[in-house]
Structure 1
Amino acid sequence: MSTTTEHTPESGDPLDSGPPTRPVPRLIQNEATTEIPVHLLFRDDPAPVSVPLRPAVVARRQGTGEQPRLRRPAAAAPRPAAAVDPDLVESPARVLPGAVGVLAGLGGVAGGLATSWWAGVLPSLAVHALRLPASAGLGPAQWAAYAGAGALGACGFAGLARGVTGQARVLALFGRYRGTVRRTGLLWINPLHLRRRVDVRLRHWRSEEMPAADGSGVALRVAVLVVWRVRDTARAVLGVEDHEGYLRECVEAALARVPVEMPGGVRGSVEAATDALTRRVAADAAGIGLEVFAVQPVRVAYAPEVAEAMHRRRIAALDAQQRATVLTSVVDSVEDTVTRLTMRGLVELDDYERKVLVRDLTVAFCSGRTGSAP
């Protein structure tokens, strides 16, 4: 196979005046290899001509021994957020002071009394005592005045509401969100608005036992304490049917994904599980306007189907740990005894006698430790 081609300069070529250069090598290339300059196979040129390389093997061919090109793992797609209407955001509702409603109600009552005097409905004793003029009787005008006064009084008194600290009211008019009332004191709200009361105080909820698993996949039953509050009343009330039930489902889903360790296990495992649970539940509940501060396991137990087996395993592990501790203590005691006897010159022992002494001391110490153990 021809590997190189020579460049023959012609007359008038600007290369004639320069020093002789090595001919540019051809490249070995096929459909599955990188372009390789031939001069790299024969390193006789101290300054080879650099040739740009194109991408390497695209895929591995069966039976060729070629290494496949490393591919970057595709980034995991982020989890979609809760599908809540982005336009549904809490906004303050338009309300009036309660004095306005009181004045309107009193105005309606006064209008009704005036209309009754006008229509002559007041008792005759009151007419004579007040020396009122003769009445005009009940006619269309009097009925219209009654209707106006009654509507004014009913609207004034029916719109009165008492705002309480820690509670809010979500207002809706004909199915459309009209705002949230967080003010306290006596207020007047449009009587046509549908009001839904929401508790916005800091709340805690202790769950019932939920299924979970530890890092090894052993089934557990976990009860958690959730500290939370409603941050966006519009999304919590109108964005989901039951925000408390939604929070309960978020906690159960998080327990299915986050391993929970038994108390007394790996140091920091409880804190790590608490942080992981809090992050996951807070991210899932943020879409419906809930703010989660902590999700902490308060009771962790093995599931009934594995409780007996895990109890036996735990007892065996504790027994093995105790035996290892006793054996270590006995070996240290024997070593210390033999060393002190030898260093003080009380006995002179050869290898056989040393082994016999170590054996007898070990048996004696083990018998004493085992007998004194509860």
Structure 2
Amino acid sequence: MSNTRSTERPARTSNGIVMLLLGLAMMVGGPILVAQSPGTLLFVVAGITICVVGLLVLCGLYSLQPNEGTAILLFGEYRGTDRKTGLRWVLPWYSRKKISLRARNVTSDKLKVNDKRGNPVEIAANVVWRVQDSAQALFDVDDYQAFVNIQIDTGLRDIASHYAYDHGEHVEGADQELTLRADAEDVAARLRDELAKRVEAAGIAVDEARLAHLAYAPEIAGAMLRRQQAEAVLAARRLIVTGAVGMVETALADLNERGVVDLDEDRKAAMVSNLLVVLCADREAQPVVNTGTLYG
């Protein structure tokens, strides 16, 4: 059998200032009536009764600051939530539970999880949340703050398993794959939506959720760093070679168009080889003086 879902509703309360003045008047008027009575039992009882009622009236006072609420209960039955700020009053036999409605900022602990490719990564999130429905937060879960913290951890683990840490080897379609490192905004949006669904049962609203920490686990961090460096070197080499081939092609076309020199296929091959070595080498080319002929 499922539990009944609670729903917040306004509570019927009164202005506390008026009730404070009334209670003080009764607390002062009771002893005055006893003191000025002719000594009859009726006046004494009336004065004491007025004083006790005034004390009870004062016991029903409570105050609320902005973005605070008080759940009103009568012998365990929920009677509504008061969100009106200032000094408020309710019948003294009503019990009250105050709850903060302010936004809260939580940074989760660093979790070691496996990403989509199975690589161990360390991940943590920063989440901004607030109580939206005070009745659900107080009565539908045992401890709504602990509930939110646990759901943040489980939601973060689930999100991390759906994304790779970073783009892997260059394959067709790999660049379109969302990753934890390169697509932080998309990951944050999905994390926020996932957490909003998980904490909805506790009357909690998630305003923002972002990754606060992301790194490879220490046992593979060194290897992954070397792989990233190698990928960067390969990408740079690929760009250099592409540019060098274009430059050689342009040079041969210009020489042929202007008729500067007539090169056969063997000479073109030698010239292409020499130009590629000069353009793609890590070091500056060393000039060689040819004292013979071009074919020597």
TM bin (shorter chain): 0.7 to 0.9
Distance change (3 Å), C-alpha of 1:263 and 1:295: farther
Equivalent position of 1:96 in the other structure: 14
CA distance in 2, matches of 1:239, 1:346: 88
Secondary structure of the structure 2 residue equivalent to 1:314: helix
Pairing partner for 2:266 from 342, 349, 352: 352
Give the direction of change, closer, same or farther, for the CA distance of 1:314–1:184 in structure 2 (3 Å limit): same
Structure 1 partner of 2:210: 296
- What residue number does 1:285 align with? 199
What corresponds to 1:178 in structure 2?
79
Q: How does 1:296-335 map to 2 (within 5 A)?
A: 296-335=210-249
1: distance between equivalents of 2:235 and 2:265? 32
Quick one: distance in 2 between partners of 1:201 and 1:263? 36
Question: For residues 150 and 295 of structure 1, what CA distance do their matches in structure 2 show?
Answer: 54
**Mapped pair 1:153 → 2:54:** yes
TM-score, with structure 2 as normaliser? 0.81
Structure 2 residue 226 is matched with structure 1 residue 226: no
Higher relative contact order (CA 8 A, sep 6+): 2
Kept after mapping to 2: 8 A contact 1:226/1:296: yes
- Number of paired residues? 269
TM-score, normalised via structure 1 length: 0.65
How far has the Cα of 1:359 moved from its partner? 0.9
RMSD: 2.5
Q: Deviations over 1:194-241 (max 9, x none)?
A: 322212133333333233443323222222222222111011122222
Does structure 1 conserve the Cα–Cα contact (< 8 Å) formed by 2:108 and 2:153? Answer: no
Q: Hey, what's the Cα distance between the residues in 2 that align with 1:354 and 1:294?
A: 63
Q: Distance in 2 between matches of 1:216 and 1:263?
A: 10
User: Deviation per CA, 1:110-131, whole angstroms, max 9, x where unpaired?
Assistant: 012211333xxxxxxxxxxxxx
Q: How is 1:1-374 mapped onto 2 (pairs within 5 angstroms)?
A: 84-86=3-5, 88-98=6-16, 99-118=18-37, 135-136=38-39, 141=42, 144-145=45-46, 147-258=48-159, 259-260=162-163, 262=165, 269-367=183-281, 370-371=282-283
Question: Which is worse superposed, 235-244 or 145-154?
Answer: 145-154
* Post-superposition CA distance 1:252-310 (Å, at most 9, x none): 11122223455898667323322221221111111111112332213321222222221
- The separation in 2 between residues aligned to 1:213 and 1:193, in whole angstroms, is 51
Q: Distance in 2 between matches of 1:371 and 1:145?
A: 107
> Matches of 1:220 and 1:294 in 2, distance apart?
22
Partner AA of 2:262 in structure 1: E
- Change beyond 3 A, Cα 1:263–1:107: farther
1:323 to partner: Cα distance: 1.5
* Structure number having the greater helix percentage: 2
Q: Secondary structure at the match of 1:155?
A: helix
Rounded Cα–Cα distance in structure 2 between residues aligned with 1:308 and 1:153: 74
Q: Which runs of 5+ in 2 are unaligned?
A: 168-174, 285-296
| CA displacement at 1:168 relative to structure 2 | 0.7
Distance of aligned partners of 1:84 and 1:233 in 2 relative to their CA distance in 1, 3 Å threshold: farther
Quick one: distance in 2 between partners of 1:95 and 1:324? Answer: 74
Tell me the equivalent position of 2:171: none
How far off its partner does 1:183 sit?
A: 0.9
Query: Which residue is equivalent to 1:78?
Result: none
User: Aligned partner of 1:343: which letter?
Assistant: E
CA contact (8 A) 1:112 1:145 kept: no
Aligned to 2:170: none
What CA distance in whole angstroms lies between the structure 2 residues aligned with 1:371 and 1:196? 75
